[in-house]
Structures are given as C-alpha cells and as structure tokens.
Amino acid sequence: MIEAMSHLLTIGIAALLPMCAMLAQEAQRSPIPYVRATGESEVTVKPDQATINIGVVTSAATAAAAASQNATQVTAVLDRIKKDIGDKGEIRTVGYSVNPNYVYPNPPNNNGPKISGYTASNTVRVILGDISLVGKVVDSATAAGANNINGIEFSVKDEAAVRGQALREAAVNAKRAGEAMASALGLKVVRVHSAETGEPSFVRPMQNVGMTRMAMAEARAPTPVELGNVQVRATVTVTLEITQ
C-alpha cells in the first residue's frame, strides 16, 4: 500500500513539473504594465557655415568652342573666388556637361530636330567657414563671369553636437510626460523600459540669389545676405515600466 501511494505521488509530481514550467513561461511572456509617452524638442542655433553653388553656362556653334569658352570663364571665376576666401573655405566641382541645342521644324517633318549649337555648363560648390564672405563671393563670382547661382544654404559645422542636444531635450521631455501620466493615475515609475527615435531633422535657411544674366550685368549694389537660424527637431518615445 505504501509503495503504491509512493508510486502515485511520484507520478503526480512528474505530471506537475511540465505544468509549472508552462506557468513560468507564461508569466515571463506576460506583458509588463507600462505607460508610453512622446517628447519633442526644437533647438535653434546661429549658422556658422554657408554653401553656394556657382556655375558658368556658355554656348557656341561647336562643342569644342563652348567647352573652351566655358573653361576660360570658369578659370577666371575660380581665381577670383580663391583670392576672396583664402583658407576660409573650400571649392569643389559638382557638375559639368556639354550638350547639343536643338531646333525643331515648324511644322514638324520626318527629318526631325537639328543641332543649332552646344551649351557647356560647369558648377562648383563653395563651402565657406566664414559666412561674412557670402555677399563678397557672390559679387566677385558674377563679376568674373559666373552666370548661374542656384542659392545659398546656411548650416552649422558641428551638426552632431546640435543633433545630440535636440535628442537629449526630447528624451527628457518624453520621460517627464510619462512620469506625469503615471502620477496622475496613481502609479509609480519603476524604470525606463525602452526608448526610440527617428533621425532628427535639420531646417537650414536658404536665400535665393538666382539671377539672370541681364540682372547680373546690371547689378551694381552689393548682394544683400540675410542670415536665418538653423533649426533641429527631434522626437523621442519612451516606454516606462510602472507599478502600483
């Protein structure tokens, strides 16, 4: 009798062990109580760097003539810019092309369009570490032969530092919002369970200084440059574990 009861007890314990393991796993899978909150931040800083795209566009009857004329004007423009900026900036070529110009018969016929000449285009990007030189560089470039200026973009040299500041402030705001929610519900925050964010966005001020060739030829007053602010926006979402 005793041996039979002992045998049954062993069987019962063996049957309970898998069930206990399942309950433990289920407890581990149970979601933790939490509150989730989102914080935002916008950091505004003064720009300390400027980028200008300066181009020369020339046209001629042949591709070689258009390219040669373009090279002559670009050389004059670069020499003038380099003299102005010294060691306070850098210049790099960002685009060059020589393309045919077409004329289309009117009315259309089977012969198709004809080449009427060629246009050469060369664009350089000037990155200035001294933004006080922006107006001077634009005026010098146009005086030397530049006839295609796309605009000016202001930025900051150390974007990582500004990005980090925006993320820190957004994270603090998110945590405060979550703690306020928990407090209002009579709950306590145990810890930060997780945090996530997207890539902070930069809003860089632009100044449109695009000018036609005639306007450049007629311009006498120095090009005015108005500095805006660089804005960095960040959003952080935190999940806070809570308890009663």
Question: Per-block average pLDDT, block size 10, for the chain (244 residues)?
Answer: 46 49 54 91 93 96 97 97 94 96 84 92 96 93 93 90 94 96 94 90 68 46 74 94 92
pLDDT (0 to 100) of residue 240: 95
pLDDT (0 to 100) of residue 209: 53
C-alpha–C-alpha distance, residues 74 and 86, integer Å: 18
pLDDT (0 to 100) of residue 163: 93
Q: Is there a contact between 229 and 44 (Cβ–Cβ < 8 Å)?
A: yes
User: Is 142 exposed, middle or buried (CB count within 10 Å of its CB: 0-12, 13-18, 19+)?
Assistant: buried
pLDDT (0 to 100) of residue 4: 45
Strand 49-60 and strand 114-128: pairing?
Answer: antiparallel
pLDDT (0 to 100) of residue 29: 56
C-alpha–C-alpha distance, residues 14 and 169, integer Å: 55
